[in-house]
Amino acid sequence: MTTEEPLLEVRGAAVSYRTRAGTVTAVDGVDLTVRRGEIVALVGESGCGKSSLGRAVLRLEPLAGGEVRFAGVDLGTLSGTPLRQARRRLQMVFQDPQSSLDPRRTVGQIVERPLKVHRAGTPAQRRAKVAETLDLVGLGSRFLDRYPAALSGGQRQRVGIARALVLDPELLVCDEPVSALDVSIQAQILQLLLDLRERLGLALLFVAHDLAVVRHLADRVAVMYLGRIVERGAVDEMFALPRHPYTQALLSAAPVPDVAVERARSVPLAAGDLPDPLAPPSGCAFRTRCPHARPVCAEVTPALVHDVACHRQDELPPFVSPIIHSGG
Amino acid sequence: MTRPVESAPGLRLLRPVSPAQWVGLSIIAAWVLLAVLAPLVSADPLAQQTADRLQAPSFAHPFGTDQLGRDVLSRVLHGGRATLPIGVSIVLLATLVGVPLGALAGFVRGWLDEAVMRVADLLLALPALVLALAIAAALGPSVSSAVIAIAAVMWPRYARLARGQVLTLRQREFVLADRATGASPAQVLWQTVLPNAAPVVTLVAVLDLGTATLAGATLSFLGLGVQPPTPEWGAMVSTAVQTPEAWWASLFPGFALVSFVVAVNLYGQVFDRKGLGR
Amino acid sequence: MVTPAPADEAAVDTRRPLRRGRRGGRRRSIARRLVTLPFLLLGMTLLMFLISRFLPADPAVAFLGNNGADNQQAVDAFNARYGLDRPLWEQYWIYLDRLLHGDLGTSISTSRPVADELAAAFPATLELAVAALLISLVVGIPLGILAAARRSSLFDRLTGGATLLGVSMPPFVLALLALQVLYLQLGWVAGPGRLDPFLDPPPTVTGLMTIDALLAGRPAVALDVLHHLVLPAVVLGVIHGAFFARVVRSTMVDALRGDFVRTARGKGLSGRVIVGRHAFRFALIPTLSLVGLTFGELFAGAITVETITGWPGVGRYMYNAATKLDFPAVMAGTLLIGIAYVLVNLIVDLLYGVADPRVEAS
Ligand SMILES: Nc1ncnc2c1ncn2[C@@H]1O[C@H](COP(=O)(O)OP(=O)(O)OP(=O)(O)O)[C@@H](O)[C@H]1O
Ligand SMILES: [Mg+2]
């Protein structure tokens, strides 16, 4: 990881939706990079704009500002065939394995679809590639003629991964690929993604709402709150020493296996729900739930300084992570 | 029509589930069969026997004869060969126009959507049959103008239906996923979105067969569709109105029409209750 | 006959079910209706203009008939009058101008102004439509309520079958059947026409002859008109009564499953009270909202029913015009029915909007 050009470079990305009630800025000036073969996790609670950012990376959602560069090319300047060609190289695994598979296509047809769209290979070659990819994700060819309705959640998510892999992409955007699954299946899918990175040198932008999930998966983590990145860094550092009050809150909210630690755990740092994205708080968006908020937080929006967006990052009391104490 | 119906092979939706549906389907099948076999099983519907005019039902003429001495039973059987295909053609034409228009409107939105839907609103704001009458009259009386006229007032229904389906479906993640593979908008619409809208559209189209058949027969009754001497249920009723004393000449073709429409509605009842279709 | 289109599916923003207040929504929709009304009417005239301008092979023949088209002078006059050689929008403007001056063209078959003929026929159709509507409500609502109250009973099944037959019945077949049975066989109703030819029609005030006769203080005449009205009104009324019965039944069945009924049951109210007091109200609201739509079907049904029963309304006029290929008359009749339908719908919705808060508050 030297001066090599990042595979994905997101700069100042913004996504907004116009609704009847007003404009929601779901993503508000996000910077993010993913290098080749790297796994970067994007973490934040529901509604903070993770999926919006993920979709914007694939240009499935128009950018309201900023740019997305893939392998040095600004995707925003592409359209038509070049854009479709670029899409071969970055693919997405969707949040809901149930609704992201076409109910009217069989597993075989679903996985073959990207190849057909790109007119890749002969029918026989395509069939071979589909079988190979299904093997890769741990589904045999006996699933070829099944419809999604006849699959379990974990199987569906494997189909979703196979569809994303069949074009041999360099970057996979995984939008909470495991949050809809049972815990036991979650581990299997995570292991599968790690294996794939190992075998294919795949880079991953991995979206999650739960820090614990990404701990053993990601190289780096970016924490998002209401459309902005509040903290980012290497995964081990962040777990050892979360510096933003929101990251700290997320860590103390993470499920703790040890009962004793569960009891001793500090009171929840963040009370209440995510503020209304239609009318976000002034200044630091997190101040309404932050136990350390000061008047200045309501006035000035904190920028990322040393990878943390907090006015008081140098004054906060030291954080004791329950997970560290439990021994991982 | 709260949301597109789940499950893969979508035409499963059309499978009859209740006894009433089976009855309806059997009557429909019987009429179709009779229409197909009419030339084999019945006498010449055009043969006039001036001596036998306006005979009451008898063994020789179970449905009696009309004012030209033609056998009403043969004419009723042959009438299905005109009435039923007209109903099917109307629905086919209306869906072929309405579904692509509505789907495209819902998919690309913008001015096209606005334009299509305003035209649809306008057509739906008028009593359908009256407008169809005007269009058929303008086109001149013939089978094709009757079909075109009724399809012209029916397509907005399918345009709205298809548009609604597309609007719902385009929010679904698998459509987003299809775009993410690099599929072009046209590929997404025709190959992924529309096949998913097909079951509901087909269901509604099948249920509309009754209405369409009725409308076609009504235009023929009004002299704007099938022309004499070709036997057609609506047209037969129309001719027979002039001889009210010969009730058989008008009521038998009338009952044939009613039985077919009842059968379609009987078959469709269950879907009505499920909130699908209408 | 052609069933109303399915409601538009506004599934644009599923995440945010911004529930507007029911009443606020209705009021807003009425305001929107008022705003769009002129556009709708204008759109209808444009539609009629385009149909008459582009669909017939030769507009001159269509408007003058074959005899008229042989007469070069008449053709020239026609072309000049409609400006057929001028730009399209100018032609439309001429058409609109004529419409606004009450000129609907000249009937080919009678050579009289279509406007006069329609003016004479329209009140008869309105009279018929209102009578049919009253019959359909009086028949349909109680049937629907009783069927819902005794769901799955023999009575429910029988009405279910009968109403299915009713909604499947083309008006012209039922009209023929009724004519055969009620008039020719039983002689219970008066035959074709609106008034016994030996009676003098009352002076026209409202155009509705029953009311005019009463206003003129001639109940015998009113009774005779009523006697003639029974046949077509019952035919249309029964068909739409079947429709209302089905609507009322299904809304009632849903309503009886609803929370408030369970609450009422919990309070110890008897089934009959619940049906009578609560569910009835809930069944009535959706039914009344369909009244406007029903007028479209009534007007359409009037074409065949008036023809068979000899009721001298717009429907019979349209039938005669259609069979004689009297194109100007067909077009004008369609426009009239279209405008009447739109206005009736608006009035029904306005009344409904006025009635709604009271219904909801009680
Ligand atoms: N299509 C849309 N139209 C309007 N608003 C939207 C749309 N998609 C997302 N939003 C809004 O944008 C914000 C961010 O949504 P997004 O789906 O990106 O969040 P998320 O972090 O992925 O949440 P989750 O964990 O629930 O998936 C939310 O407030 C959401 O309501
Ligand atoms: Mg999401």
Other CB atoms within a 10 A radius of the CB of residue B19 amount to 9
Please state whether B63 falls in left (phi above 0), alpha (psi between -120 and 50) or beta.
alpha
The chain-wide mean pLDDT, for chain C, equals 80
Cβ <8 Å between B237 and C173: yes
More confident residue, C28 or C356: C28
C75 touches C62 (CB < 8 A) = no
Q: Is the pLDDT of residue C136 over 90?
A: yes
Cβ <8 Å between B127 and C179: no
Q: Using an 8 Å CB-CB cutoff, list chain A residues near B8.
A: 103-104, 106, 147-149
Q: What is the pLDDT of residues C193-233, one digit of tens each?
A: 787 777 777 877 777 878 888 888 788 888 888 888 999 99
Residue A234's beta-bridge partner residues? A220
Q: Using an 8 Å CB-CB cutoff, list chain B residues near A100.
A: 173-174, 176-177
What is the ipTM for the molecules in this complex? 0.86
Peptide bond into B229 cis (omega under 30): yes
pLDDT band for position C354 (cuts 50, 70, 90): low
B130 touches C304 (CB < 8 A) = no
Residue B164's pLDDT is what?
A: 93
Cβ <8 Å between B183 and A148: no
A46: Cβ below 6 Å to ligand 1? Answer: yes
C213 touches C256 (CB < 8 A) = no
C10 close contact with B: CB closer than 8 A: yes
Domain ranges of chain A: 100-161, 243-326
A47: Cβ below 6 Å to ligand 1? Answer: yes
Other CB atoms within a 10 A radius of the CB of residue B52 amount to 17
Instruction: Copy the structure tokens of residue C152.
Output: 């799955």
User: What SS3 class is residue A233?
Assistant: strand
Within chain C, where are the H helices? 22-54, 59-70, 72-82, 88-100, 114-149, 154-168, 171-178, 209-215, 219-257, 259-266, 271-273, 280-289, 291-309, 314-323, 327-361
For residue B192, the chain A residue with the least C-alpha distance is A102
Compute the C-alpha angle A204/A205/A208, nearest 5°. Answer: 120
Cβ <8 Å between B181 and A85: no
Within A143-225, where are the H helices? 153-165, 183-200, 211-214
Q: Which atom of ligand 1 is nearest to the CA of A227?
A: 14
DSSP secondary structure letter of residue B62? T
* Chains contacting chain C through 3 or more C-beta pairs under 8 A: A, B
**How far apart (Å, rounded) are the C-alpha atoms in residues A153 and A148?**
9
Q: Using an 8 Å CB-CB cutoff, list chain C residues near B244.
A: 179-180, 184
**Percent of chain C scored above 90 by pLDDT?**
26
Which ligand is closest to the CA of A24, given by its number?
Answer: 1
**How far apart (Å, rounded) are the C-alpha atoms in residues A114 and B237?**
58
Q: Is the pLDDT of residue B59 over 60?
A: yes
pLDDT band for position C135 (cuts 50, 70, 90): very high
pLDDT band for position B125 (cuts 50, 70, 90): confident
**Interface subset of B 188-227, CB within 8 angstroms of A:** 192, 195-196
A289: Cβ below 6 Å to ligand 1? Answer: no
B278 close contact with C: CB closer than 8 A: yes
- A43-57 CB burial, b ≥16 within 10 A, e <16: bbbebbbbbbbbbbb
Within chain B, where are the H helices? 19-41, 72-108, 110-124, 128-139, 143-169, 173-180, 185-187, 194-221, 233-240, 247-274
User: What SS3 class is residue C41?
Assistant: helix
- Residue A281, C-beta contacts closer than 8 angstroms, at least 6 positions apart: A275, A287, A288, A298
Cβ <8 Å between B126 and C319: no
Pairing status of strand A171-175 against strand A203-208: parallel
Q: Using an 8 Å CB-CB cutoff, list chain B residues near C40.
A: 121-122, 125
Cα of A275 from ligand 1 centre, angstroms: 13
CA distances from A112 to A78, A98, A140, B196, B198 (A): 25, 18, 15, 18, 22
A55: Cβ below 6 Å to ligand 1? Answer: no
B275 close contact with C: CB closer than 8 A: no
Q: Using an 8 Å CB-CB cutoff, list chain C residues near B247.
A: 180, 184
**How far apart (Å, rounded) are the C-alpha atoms in residues B216 and B150?**
7
A203: Cβ below 6 Å to ligand 1? Answer: no
Chain A and chain B share a number of CB contacts under 8 A equal to 71
- Please state the rounded mean pLDDT for residues C41-70: 80
Q: What is the pLDDT of residues A88-146, one digit of tens each?
A: 899 999 988 888 999 999 999 999 999 999 998 899 999 999 999 998 888 888 899 99
Torsion from C-alpha of B155, B156, B161, B163, nearest 10 degrees: 110
Q: How far is B146 from chain A, CA to nearest CA, in Å?
A: 36
Of A50, A53, A273, the residue with max ligand 1 atoms within 8 A of its CB, to mutate for a pocket test, comes to A50
Q: What is the pLDDT of residues A160-191, one digit of tens each?
A: 999 999 999 999 999 988 887 788 888 888 88
- In this structure, of A256-270, C2-16, C39-53, C125-139, the range with the lowest mean pLDDT score is C2-16
Residue A70's beta-bridge partner residues? A8, A73
A17: Cβ below 6 Å to ligand 1? Answer: yes
Residue B41's pLDDT is what?
A: 75
Residues with Cβ–ion distance below 5 A, ligand 2:
A 51, 95
**How far apart (Å, rounded) are the C-alpha atoms in residues C77 and A39?**
83
For residue C13, the chain A residue with the least C-alpha distance is A19
Q: Of A51, A92, A100, A102, which to mutate for an interface test with B (greatest number of B Cβ within 10 Å)?
A: A102
Q: Is the pLDDT of residue C362 over 50?
A: no
B61 close contact with C: CB closer than 8 A: no
Q: How far is CA A208 from the centre of its chain?
A: 5
Q: How far is A194 from chain B, CA to nearest CA, in Å?
A: 22
Against a cut of 0.90, is the pTM above it? no
Residue A203's beta-bridge partner residues? A171
